[in-house]
Amino acid sequence: MTNKYIARRLKQTADLIELTGGNAFRARAYAGAARTVDRMDEAVLQLVERDTLTGVQGIGKGLAADIEALVRTGSFETLDQILETLPPGLLDVLRVKGLGSKKVRALWTELGVTSLDDLEAAAVAGRIASLSGFGAKTQTTILKNVEQLKVYRARRRYYATLDAVAPLVEALRDADGVERAEVAGEIRRKMDTVGEAVLVVSGDEETIRTIFLGHAEPDDEVDGFLTGTIGDGLRLRVVHARADDFATTWWRETGSAEHVTAFVEAHGEPEATTEDAIYTSAGLAFVVPELREGDGELEAAVEDALPDLITVADLRGSLHNHSTYSDGAHTLRQMAEAARAMGLEYFGICDHSRSLVIANGLSIERLREQGEEVRALNAEFAADGGPSFRLFHGSECDILRDGDLDYPDEVLADLDLVVASVHTHFNMTEDEATERIVRAVSNPHVDILGHPTGRLLLAREGYPIDHRLVIDACAAHGVAIELNANPYRLDLDWRWVREATSHGVLIAINPDAHSIDGLDDVQWGVAAVRKGWLTASQCLNVKSADDFAAWLTARRQVDRS
């Protein structure tokens, strides 16, 4: 259990005390404890183990007991009691952007709002605008944010859906009487977010049903063979197939409607016993699931012109990573050694720049100190007889509001690598945000544009940009575009990858790792770029260390002289 999680539960408790009209001092104590825990360097878990939690300022006996219970049991009495009595829909209402506990309390006590549906109805009827402390503008904003939350709630991030369905798939495969169980649908197509998990299963229906009931919440009224939810509420549909139509059923349940319809229109209903044969018997090259989006893949399959998609094994370097110099969890040495142990040949260290105080951004002086450590480590790696490995000293340099960079040019010129990213001032029009980024990438020191829209999947829309103009600007200045592989970001969106590569822009698949574990996030980035038809030669960090260094140098000579 991480400090962040504990802090969130404490903050939630504070909000809920306020929401239920409880003691304001008590609410403040929980809110204060949440802030304390959030800022602590040491893991709360360890303090609990050593029984030293009460020594922390602002955490008295009562709070310490609550936190200990939370760590040990996943909850504590105060929170449980409130949750017990609260209409559960209010938790959703509290998640609507812009609605704090005080506003939700007003909506609840004065308008009887206890769910998102209530809230939406009240807004549509115009009843919120007349409430004191609200207004017509707030009402409109609430309506918009409810719509967004409903979309978000129905979907899950791709990586989380794999964990959600894995135990069920495994149990089905292990069972006597089940012949075959496969994942289909959006998960198999590696969609960045997933609205429904689909399994195709053949075998004894009763056996399958029993296993399903052991892992999932069935719907009251089942639609089809078996439907319900799994995990934290992900929609689940199990399709029963016979052994002889398994391949065609799996195929039909995997492709997007566009892909399946276009195939049937051009080639008729498929009849084959393997997916391979479905394509080959139609005279087509095999289309991997992640390309089955109805976006030109069937035409390419006719010509045998489908891309040879990149794989994780193609990646030779990892660019854009953080360390304890800024907001990472591991030291530069730990991160570098982990990357080397993974078999990578080079590693870009790109900690945050000075204006991002919240992430402990580096002053120019600390950036220079880091440069010295990079040189020392490189000397050490070159001499230790281990596999060839090189650090590139970089920065994830903030793009300031006006498109300027957060370090002066002479500081940037000393770095090996500059990733330029937006972290502040998200409230811009599309014109402003686009202009800001175009200006940033035209700075000759910028090598890679980091997470181009700043989106967090199912949590925050990115700032609006004109992707075409941004891609054109990157092409003009030879700047690569990052596909940030953090499973919450996957930004650049895969739908823009082909536009970028068609202009000759290289894609950098960057883990943006803030810990050693985070280095593995490239797998999600690779899943996303494959949907964007990316081949290895279109990826920046597939280059060898020498070629990557040469790319950086060439850019400097062409663009910076």
DSSP state of 86: S
User: Between 202 and 421, whose beta carbon lies closer to Zn ion?
Assistant: 421
CB 486, min distance to Zn ion, A: 8
User: Between 435 and 512, whose beta carbon lies closer to Zn ion?
Assistant: 512
Cα distance between residue 351 and residue 335, in whole Å: 12
CB 451, min distance to Zn ion, A: 6
User: Between 101 and 421, whose beta carbon lies closer to Zn ion?
Assistant: 421
Tell me the backbone φ, ψ of residue 398, rounded to 5 degrees: -65, 140
User: Between 228 and 361, whose beta carbon lies closer to Zn ion?
Assistant: 361
User: Between 12 and 353, whose beta carbon lies closer to Zn ion?
Assistant: 353
Q: Up-side HSE of residue 307: CA atoms within 13 Å toward CB?
A: 21
CB 321, min distance to Zn ion, A: 8
CB 481, min distance to Zn ion, A: 14
Residue type, 363: S
User: Between 248 and 510, whose beta carbon lies closer to Zn ion?
Assistant: 510
Pairing of β 193-194 and β 417-421 = unpaired
CB 319, min distance to Zn ion, A: 10
User: Between 337 and 396, whose beta carbon lies closer to Zn ion?
Assistant: 396
Length of the chain: 561
Cα distance between residue 301 and residue 295, in whole Å: 12
User: Between 37 and 367, whose beta carbon lies closer to Zn ion?
Assistant: 367
Name the region of 155 (left: φ>0; alpha: ψ -120 to 50; beta: rest).
beta
CB 435, min distance to Zn ion, A: 20
CB 324, min distance to Zn ion, A: 14
Nearest Cα neighbor of 551 from 308, 388, 317 is: 317
Tokens of 270: 């498929």
Quick one: how far is CA 79 from the chain centroid? 29
Cα distance between residue 221 and residue 240, in whole Å: 17
Tokens of 232: 């934290």
Burial-class residue 311 by CB neighbours within 10 Å (0-12, 13-18, 19+): exposed
User: Between 291 and 356, whose beta carbon lies closer to Zn ion?
Assistant: 356
CB 477, min distance to Zn ion, A: 20
Instruction: Give exposure, 481-502, as e/b (b: 16+ Cβ within 10 Å).
Output: bbbbbbbbbbbbbbebbbbbbe
User: Between 157 and 352, whose beta carbon lies closer to Zn ion?
Assistant: 352
- CB count within 10 Å of CB 408 equals 11
CB 225, min distance to Zn ion, A: 44
Query: In 175-331, which ranges are continuous DSSP H helix?
Result: 185-188, 205-215, 246-254, 257-267, 275-280, 297-302
CB 536, min distance to Zn ion, A: 24
DSSP state of 237: E
Query: Partners of 194 in the beta sheet?
Result: 156
Instruction: Give exposure, 507-543, as e/b (b: 16+ Cβ within 10 Å).
Output: bbbbbbbbebebbebbbbbbbbbbbbbbebebbbbbb
Name the region of 405 (left: φ>0; alpha: ψ -120 to 50; beta: rest).
beta
User: Between 2 and 424, whose beta carbon lies closer to Zn ion?
Assistant: 424
Binding site for Zn ion (CB under 5 A): 396, 421, 512
User: Between 242 and 401, whose beta carbon lies closer to Zn ion?
Assistant: 401
Most distant CA atoms of the chain, gap in Å: 74
CB 459, min distance to Zn ion, A: 15
User: Between 18 and 512, whose beta carbon lies closer to Zn ion?
Assistant: 512
Number of helical (H) and strand (E) elements in the chain, helices listed first: 24, 14
CB 189, min distance to Zn ion, A: 27
Q: Report the run of H or E that residue 377 belongs to, with start and end.
A: helix 364-383
User: Between 158 and 488, whose beta carbon lies closer to Zn ion?
Assistant: 488
CB 510, min distance to Zn ion, A: 8
The three state secondary structure string of 7-76 is HHHHHHHHHHHHHCCCCHHHHHHHHHHHHHHHHCCCCHHHHHHHCCHHHCCCCCHHHHHHHHHHHHHCCC
CB 356, min distance to Zn ion, A: 8
Distances (CA, A) of 373 to 184, 336, 339: 48, 12, 17
